[in-house]
Structure 1
Amino acid sequence: MLFFIGLVYLIANSFIKIKTWLTDEQSLPLTELILTGEKKHVLLQDVRNILIKQKDRLNFFTLEIAEIQHQLEALPWVYSASIRKRWPATIKIHIVEQSIVAIWNDKNLLNRFGEIVYASPKGLKGEYVSLYGKDEFANDVLISYKRISQLLKVNDFEIASLENDARQATRIVLKNSFKLNLGQEQKLDRIQNFLKVFPLLERKYDIDKIDYVDLRYDTGFAIGWKQKKK
């Protein structure tokens, strides 16, 4: 009986010591970081700062991978992060950055899925189209932009900005050109009608003097002219 009790005590004590050793940061510390993926906007220091918060758990067995992943994906420019441990002391992190397609309401960005990215657009003006609308309709605005942009490319028009107001009426500013008022309905049809008559406009008028073309009419459109500078 005494031998059996002693054996149980020895096993339990050994288990506790092994567990303590495995979970002690000093025993199996993670000392090497490998960061892969695009790093245009996500800095190495951003990742290090998150790992530093886990300093008491930077052990091969106790590292909170899910927590680190959550914190990384909370960074504005990170779309997704994957984390792997490599024996005996390496943590490997792969970052996928946000794929930005537009500036949203002059203060945020939109990714290719129509999701708002709460990052500053500072320094990105001119690099992306500017889109405007209510946040809940961000994806709808992006879809409208893509469809209309494809049609306008036929005549080499490029969109500088597209705005959907509270009634979902669309207004477009073309690059180095005039504005298009599309209204709420039949937007693609109105663009197609505009493209059909544009060659006639180009021959008859000085296009540079046009301020806007209003396409919200069933049987035609209206032209607004730029005011002469005094």
Structure 2
Amino acid sequence: MANELSVNTNTQQYEEDKVSLPVGLTVFVIVIALLIYGAYKAYEWLQDEQQLPVQSIVFTGELSMISPDWLETLIRESNSGSFFAIDVNEVHQLVESQAWVYSASIRKRWPSSLYIHIVEQKAVAQWNDDMLLNKYGESFDGISALKQQINAASEQEESQLEIRLPKLFGPGGSEKTALTGYQHMRALLRASGQKIKMLNLSERFAWTVKLENGITLNLGRQEYIKRLQRFIDVFPLLKDEKKAINYIDLRYDTGLAVGWADAFPISAADTDNNTNN
């Protein structure tokens, strides 16, 4: 009898285990499904711009040529989504792709803000009419970028920019050479009160400079700083002539040639030593 009772008990336990296994598995599957569903709904909620929108984009840095409102509109149009959904790297690439942005750093601030610090390009000269140069001799398409900013302030700044900045011209790849030459000449002319309006570097790397007083200086390729110093030394004597000067050719070993306005060129001493360099 004891053995029969033990067998019956074991059989009953086995039957109960057979019943509970599918039930437990079913419950387990349901729990996992609910967790996955809950995670999905949470993800949807976090991605929903209506639930967690980026309420403010804060710009820092000295901005004079970039319109924060225009840049914010550009960011929102290109990167829609919630605070969690916005990709900081994509925003960073977008901001730094703008011509007037030299560099940018971006960070999120909980719960709904985006902070963007911008180092703006500083234009020091126009380059070949359609580009600008920064202080490192790097060209950027600043004029076209200003035209994209459709507010009146930017248009006014563009007009002022064309008036204030000297114009540099040269072959492609000579930006840094042209800017370095311009900076050296500007420093040398500063003491005499002269300013450069236009500088041209030819394909053969010969220098031509037009001053704000209308005088054109032909400096050639060699020793252009030495030749410019010769002009500075002689200019007070030329002013005593009380005649308007059209150009001064300094491509001589020691002398120079003066082209007076509405007159034939008059050569100074040693004009026979012209090297045309």
* Class of the TM-score when normalised by the shorter of the 2 chains: 0.7 to 0.9
The offset of 1:88, in angstroms, is 0.4
Structure-2 change in CA distance of 1:62 and 1:77 (3 Å): same
Q: 1:128-147 alignment to 2 at 5 Å?
A: 128-147=165-184
Aligned with 1:181: secondary structure?
strand
Please name the residue that 1:124 is paired with: 161
Q: 1:83-94 alignment to 2 at 5 Å?
A: 83-94=106-117
The offset of 1:122, in angstroms, is 4.0
Question: 1:78-130, CA deviations, whole angstroms, 9 ceiling, x for partnerless residues?
Answer: 22222221110111222322101112222222111112221325442331111
2:201 pairs with 1:168: no
2:240 pairs with 1:217: no
The offset of 1:68, in angstroms, is 1.8
Unaligned residue ranges in structure 2 (runs of 5+)? 1-23, 144-157, 264-277
Task: Write the distance in 2 (CA, Å) between the matches of 1:178 and 1:55.
Answer: 53
Please name the residue that 2:58 is paired with: 34
The offset of 1:55, in angstroms, is 5.1
Please name the residue that 2:136 is paired with: 113
Most deviating of 118-127 and 129-138: 118-127
Aligned residue identity for 1:22 = L
Aligned with 1:156: secondary structure?
coil
Q: 1:87-106 alignment to 2 at 5 Å?
A: 87-106=110-129
Aligned residue identity for 1:197 = V
Q: Which has the higher strand share?
A: 1
Task: Write the distance in 1 (CA, Å) between the matches of 2:178 and 2:99.
Answer: 21
The count of corresponding residues between Structure 1 and Structure 2 is: 225
Most deviating of 86-95 and 14-23: 14-23
Q: 1:48-63 alignment to 2 at 5 Å?
A: 48-54=72-78, 56-57=80-81, 59-63=82-86
Structure-2 change in CA distance of 1:198 and 1:61 (3 Å): same
Task: Write the distance in 2 (CA, Å) between the matches of 1:127 and 1:118.
Answer: 17
Task: Write the distance in 2 (CA, Å) between the matches of 1:176 and 1:55.
Answer: 51
The offset of 1:64, in angstroms, is 1.6
Task: Write the distance in 1 (CA, Å) between the matches of 2:78 and 2:163.
Answer: 40
Structure-2 change in CA distance of 1:185 and 1:22 (3 Å): same
Unaligned residue ranges in structure 1 (runs of 5+)? none
The percentage of counterpart residues that share the same residue type is 37
TM value normalised by structure 2? 0.73
Task: Write the distance in 2 (CA, Å) between the matches of 1:153 and 1:145.
Answer: 12
Moved over 6 A (4+): none
Structure-2 change in CA distance of 1:126 and 1:9 (3 Å): closer
Q: 2:228 aligns with which of 181, 191, 203?
A: 191
Aligned residue identity for 1:180 = L
Task: Write the distance in 2 (CA, Å) between the matches of 1:209 and 1:29.
Answer: 67
Please name the residue that 2:14 is paired with: none
Aligned with 2:191: secondary structure?
helix
Aligned with 1:182: secondary structure?
strand
Aligned residue identity for 1:28 = L
Question: 1:30-74, CA deviations, whole angstroms, 9 ceiling, x for partnerless residues?
Answer: 1122222233221233213322324542x2222122222222222
Q: 2:80 touches 2:86 (CA, 8 Å); kept in 1?
A: no
Q: 1:44-83 alignment to 2 at 5 Å?
A: 44-54=68-78, 56-57=80-81, 59-83=82-106
Aligned with 1:197: secondary structure?
helix
Q: Which has the higher helix share?
A: 2
RMSD of equivalent CA atoms: 2.2
Most deviating of 81-90 and 48-57: 48-57
Aligned with 1:150: secondary structure?
helix
